[in-house]
Structure 1
Protein backbone atom coordinates (compact mmCIF):
# COMPACT_ATOMS: atom_id res chain seq x y z
CA UNK A 1 0.00 0.00 0.00
CA UNK A 2 1.36 3.41 -0.96
CA UNK A 3 0.87 6.42 1.30
CA UNK A 4 2.39 9.79 2.12
CA UNK A 5 4.12 10.77 5.33
CA UNK A 6 4.30 14.31 6.71
CA UNK A 7 6.30 15.39 9.75
CA UNK A 8 5.38 18.52 11.67
CA UNK A 9 6.42 20.37 14.80
CA UNK A 10 4.84 22.75 17.29
CA UNK A 11 5.94 24.38 20.55
CA UNK A 12 3.97 24.18 23.77
CA UNK A 13 4.14 26.81 26.46
CA UNK A 14 7.16 25.98 28.62
CA UNK A 15 5.08 25.29 31.72
CA UNK A 16 5.20 21.79 33.29
CA UNK A 17 1.57 21.96 34.45
CA UNK A 18 0.30 22.96 31.00
CA UNK A 19 2.46 20.28 29.35
CA UNK A 20 0.99 17.59 31.61
CA UNK A 21 -2.52 18.89 30.94
CA UNK A 22 -1.86 18.81 27.17
CA UNK A 23 -0.64 15.22 27.43
CA UNK A 24 -3.79 14.35 29.40
CA UNK A 25 -6.05 15.95 26.77
CA UNK A 26 -4.43 13.62 24.20
CA UNK A 27 -4.55 10.44 26.30
CA UNK A 28 -6.84 7.56 25.21
CA UNK A 29 -10.49 8.43 25.73
CA UNK A 30 -9.89 12.16 26.17
CA UNK A 31 -9.65 13.35 22.57
CA UNK A 32 -12.82 14.54 20.91
CA UNK A 33 -14.21 11.87 18.54
CA UNK A 34 -15.26 14.51 15.97
CA UNK A 35 -11.61 15.56 15.59
CA UNK A 36 -10.36 12.05 14.80
CA UNK A 37 -13.33 11.49 12.46
CA UNK A 38 -12.59 14.70 10.58
CA UNK A 39 -8.95 13.71 10.12
CA UNK A 40 -9.99 10.34 8.67
CA UNK A 41 -12.49 12.02 6.33
CA UNK A 42 -9.77 14.23 4.76
CA UNK A 43 -7.44 11.27 4.16
CA UNK A 44 -5.29 11.04 7.29
CA UNK A 45 -4.71 7.32 7.88
CA UNK A 46 -2.68 7.54 11.08
CA UNK A 47 -1.13 10.19 13.29
CA UNK A 48 1.32 10.03 16.15
CA UNK A 49 2.52 12.90 18.35
CA UNK A 50 5.74 12.74 20.35
CA UNK A 51 7.01 15.17 22.97
CA UNK A 52 10.38 16.30 24.29
CA UNK A 53 10.18 19.01 26.93
CA UNK A 54 7.88 21.56 25.26
CA UNK A 55 8.53 20.51 21.63
CA UNK A 56 5.97 18.35 19.84
CA UNK A 57 6.75 16.20 16.81
CA UNK A 58 3.94 14.78 14.68
CA UNK A 59 4.05 11.96 12.13
CA UNK A 60 1.04 12.02 9.85
CA UNK A 61 0.44 9.21 7.35
CA UNK A 62 -2.08 9.94 4.61
CA UNK A 63 -3.61 8.46 1.49
CA UNK A 64 -1.29 8.42 -1.54
CA UNK A 65 -3.07 11.23 -3.40
CA UNK A 66 -3.27 13.53 -0.35
CA UNK A 67 -3.16 17.25 -1.16
CA UNK A 68 -1.90 18.83 2.06
CA UNK A 69 -3.24 22.36 1.61
CA UNK A 70 -6.64 21.26 0.32
CA UNK A 71 -7.05 18.70 3.13
CA UNK A 72 -6.01 21.15 5.87
CA UNK A 73 -8.50 23.73 4.56
CA UNK A 74 -11.23 21.07 4.51
CA UNK A 75 -10.30 19.89 7.99
CA UNK A 76 -10.56 23.44 9.35
CA UNK A 77 -14.26 23.42 8.39
CA UNK A 78 -15.12 20.09 10.01
CA UNK A 79 -17.47 19.96 13.03
CA UNK A 80 -15.87 21.21 16.26
CA UNK A 81 -12.44 21.65 14.63
CA UNK A 82 -12.19 25.40 15.31
CA UNK A 83 -13.52 24.80 18.84
CA UNK A 84 -10.80 22.15 19.38
CA UNK A 85 -8.07 24.45 18.07
CA UNK A 86 -9.20 27.24 20.41
CA UNK A 87 -9.33 24.76 23.32
CA UNK A 88 -5.78 23.42 22.83
CA UNK A 89 -4.32 26.85 21.99
CA UNK A 90 -3.98 27.61 25.73
CA UNK A 91 -1.20 24.99 25.86
CA UNK A 92 0.52 26.08 22.65
CA UNK A 93 2.74 28.97 21.63
CA UNK A 94 0.05 30.27 19.25
CA UNK A 95 -3.23 32.20 19.14
CA UNK A 96 -6.80 31.00 19.68
CA UNK A 97 -7.67 31.92 16.11
CA UNK A 98 -4.91 29.84 14.48
CA UNK A 99 -5.94 26.75 12.51
CA UNK A 100 -4.09 23.45 12.90
CA UNK A 101 -2.34 24.18 9.61
CA UNK A 102 -1.09 27.53 10.93
CA UNK A 103 0.17 25.99 14.18
CA UNK A 104 1.82 22.79 13.01
CA UNK A 105 4.88 23.56 10.86
CA UNK A 106 5.95 21.12 8.16
CA UNK A 107 9.47 19.77 8.68
CA UNK A 108 12.06 19.05 6.01
CA UNK A 109 13.69 15.62 6.05
CA UNK A 110 17.47 15.98 6.08
CA UNK A 111 18.45 12.33 6.56
CA UNK A 112 17.09 8.87 5.86
CA UNK A 113 19.01 5.65 6.46
CA UNK A 114 17.82 4.18 3.17
CA UNK A 115 16.92 7.19 1.01
CA UNK A 116 14.63 6.56 -1.93
CA UNK A 117 13.92 10.03 -3.27
CA UNK A 118 14.00 13.72 -2.53
CA UNK A 119 10.72 15.42 -1.76
CA UNK A 120 9.34 18.77 -0.66
CA UNK A 121 7.76 18.78 2.81
CA UNK A 122 4.45 20.09 1.41
CA UNK A 123 4.26 17.15 -1.02
CA UNK A 124 4.77 14.49 1.65
CA UNK A 125 7.22 11.63 1.51
CA UNK A 126 6.02 8.75 -0.66
CA UNK A 127 6.08 5.57 1.42
CA UNK A 128 5.07 1.98 0.89
CA UNK A 129 4.29 -0.66 3.48
CA UNK A 130 6.44 -3.75 3.19
Structure 2
Protein backbone atom coordinates (compact mmCIF):
# COMPACT_ATOMS: atom_id res chain seq x y z
CA UNK A 1 0.00 0.00 0.00
CA UNK A 2 1.41 3.37 -1.01
CA UNK A 3 1.44 6.03 1.66
CA UNK A 4 2.75 9.55 2.07
CA UNK A 5 4.75 10.57 5.12
CA UNK A 6 4.96 14.06 6.55
CA UNK A 7 7.26 15.11 9.38
CA UNK A 8 6.49 18.20 11.41
CA UNK A 9 7.90 20.08 14.36
CA UNK A 10 6.53 22.30 17.11
CA UNK A 11 8.06 24.03 20.13
CA UNK A 12 6.52 23.67 23.60
CA UNK A 13 6.73 26.23 26.37
CA UNK A 14 9.87 25.74 28.46
CA UNK A 15 7.99 24.70 31.60
CA UNK A 16 8.42 21.21 33.07
CA UNK A 17 4.90 21.14 34.57
CA UNK A 18 3.31 22.13 31.25
CA UNK A 19 5.39 19.54 29.39
CA UNK A 20 4.31 16.87 31.89
CA UNK A 21 0.66 17.90 31.38
CA UNK A 22 1.08 17.91 27.58
CA UNK A 23 2.37 14.34 27.72
CA UNK A 24 -0.59 13.38 29.91
CA UNK A 25 -3.19 14.73 27.46
CA UNK A 26 -1.49 12.70 24.70
CA UNK A 27 -1.28 9.45 26.70
CA UNK A 28 -3.07 6.37 25.29
CA UNK A 29 -6.82 6.98 25.39
CA UNK A 30 -6.49 10.62 26.49
CA UNK A 31 -6.86 12.39 23.14
CA UNK A 32 -10.49 13.20 22.49
CA UNK A 33 -12.04 10.61 20.14
CA UNK A 34 -13.39 13.35 17.83
CA UNK A 35 -9.81 14.46 17.19
CA UNK A 36 -8.47 11.09 16.10
CA UNK A 37 -11.66 10.43 14.09
CA UNK A 38 -11.23 13.74 12.27
CA UNK A 39 -7.67 12.80 11.38
CA UNK A 40 -8.82 9.45 10.00
CA UNK A 41 -11.61 11.17 8.05
CA UNK A 42 -9.14 13.39 6.14
CA UNK A 43 -6.79 10.50 5.26
CA UNK A 44 -4.30 10.35 8.13
CA UNK A 45 -3.56 6.66 8.68
CA UNK A 46 -1.17 6.95 11.60
CA UNK A 47 0.50 9.64 13.66
CA UNK A 48 3.26 9.57 16.25
CA UNK A 49 4.68 12.45 18.29
CA UNK A 50 8.14 12.37 19.89
CA UNK A 51 9.65 14.83 22.36
CA UNK A 52 13.15 16.01 23.24
CA UNK A 53 13.23 18.82 25.77
CA UNK A 54 10.73 21.35 24.43
CA UNK A 55 10.96 20.17 20.82
CA UNK A 56 8.18 18.01 19.40
CA UNK A 57 8.56 15.88 16.28
CA UNK A 58 5.55 14.38 14.51
CA UNK A 59 5.46 11.59 11.96
CA UNK A 60 2.22 11.53 10.01
CA UNK A 61 1.47 8.71 7.57
CA UNK A 62 -1.37 9.34 5.12
CA UNK A 63 -3.18 7.81 2.18
CA UNK A 64 -1.33 7.92 -1.13
CA UNK A 65 -3.40 10.72 -2.70
CA UNK A 66 -3.22 12.96 0.39
CA UNK A 67 -3.28 16.70 -0.36
CA UNK A 68 -1.70 18.22 2.75
CA UNK A 69 -3.07 21.76 2.47
CA UNK A 70 -6.59 20.63 1.55
CA UNK A 71 -6.67 18.01 4.31
CA UNK A 72 -5.43 20.42 6.98
CA UNK A 73 -8.09 22.96 5.97
CA UNK A 74 -10.76 20.25 6.18
CA UNK A 75 -9.41 18.97 9.50
CA UNK A 76 -9.78 22.45 11.01
CA UNK A 77 -13.56 22.22 10.42
CA UNK A 78 -14.01 18.81 12.07
CA UNK A 79 -15.94 18.43 15.37
CA UNK A 80 -14.09 19.81 18.42
CA UNK A 81 -10.91 20.48 16.42
CA UNK A 82 -10.78 24.22 17.17
CA UNK A 83 -11.62 23.48 20.81
CA UNK A 84 -8.75 20.96 20.97
CA UNK A 85 -6.30 23.40 19.38
CA UNK A 86 -7.26 26.10 21.89
CA UNK A 87 -6.92 23.56 24.73
CA UNK A 88 -3.41 22.35 23.79
CA UNK A 89 -2.18 25.84 22.85
CA UNK A 90 -1.45 26.60 26.52
CA UNK A 91 1.43 24.09 26.31
CA UNK A 92 2.74 25.32 22.98
CA UNK A 93 4.73 28.38 21.94
CA UNK A 94 1.80 29.60 19.86
CA UNK A 95 -1.47 31.49 20.08
CA UNK A 96 -4.80 30.03 21.14
CA UNK A 97 -6.31 30.97 17.77
CA UNK A 98 -3.69 29.12 15.68
CA UNK A 99 -4.80 26.09 13.69
CA UNK A 100 -2.87 22.81 13.82
CA UNK A 101 -1.45 23.62 10.40
CA UNK A 102 -0.18 27.00 11.62
CA UNK A 103 1.44 25.44 14.70
CA UNK A 104 3.02 22.33 13.24
CA UNK A 105 5.71 23.24 10.70
CA UNK A 106 6.50 20.82 7.90
CA UNK A 107 10.09 19.63 7.90
CA UNK A 108 12.24 19.07 4.83
CA UNK A 109 13.75 15.62 4.42
CA UNK A 110 17.46 15.97 3.71
CA UNK A 111 18.52 12.31 3.94
CA UNK A 112 17.03 8.91 3.19
CA UNK A 113 19.02 5.72 3.47
CA UNK A 114 19.08 3.72 0.22
Q: After the TM superposition, which segments of 4 or more aligned residues of structure 1 sit over 6 Å from their partners?
A: none
Give the corresponding residue for 2:49. Answer: 49
For residues 48 and 81 of structure 1, what CA distance do their matches in structure 2 show? 18
Structure 2, unaligned runs of 5 or more: none
Tell me the alpha carbon deviations over residues 2-38 of structure 1, each in whole angstroms, 9 at most, x when there is no partner.
Answer: 0000000000001000000000000012110000000
Tell me what 1:81 maps to: 81
Aligned-residue offset at 1:113: 1.1
What residue number does 2:95 align with?
A: 95
Q: Deviations over 1:91-116 (max 9, x none)?
A: 000000000000000000011111xx
The corresponding residue for 1:113 is: 113
TM norm structure 2: 0.99
* SS at structure 1 position matched to 2:90: helix
SS of structure 1 residue aligned to 2:34: helix
* Deviation per residue, 1:32-73 (Å, 9 max, x gap): 000000000000000000000000000000000000000000
Q: After TM superposition, give the deviation of residue 76 of structure 1 in Å.
A: 0.1
For the residues of structure 1 that align with 2:29 and 2:77, how far apart are their CA atoms?
Answer: 23
1:62 corresponds in structure 2 to 62
2:3 aligns with 3
TM-score by length of 1: 0.87
Name the counterpart of 2:24. Answer: 24
**Alignment length, in residue pairs?**
114
Unaligned runs of 5+ in 1: 115-130
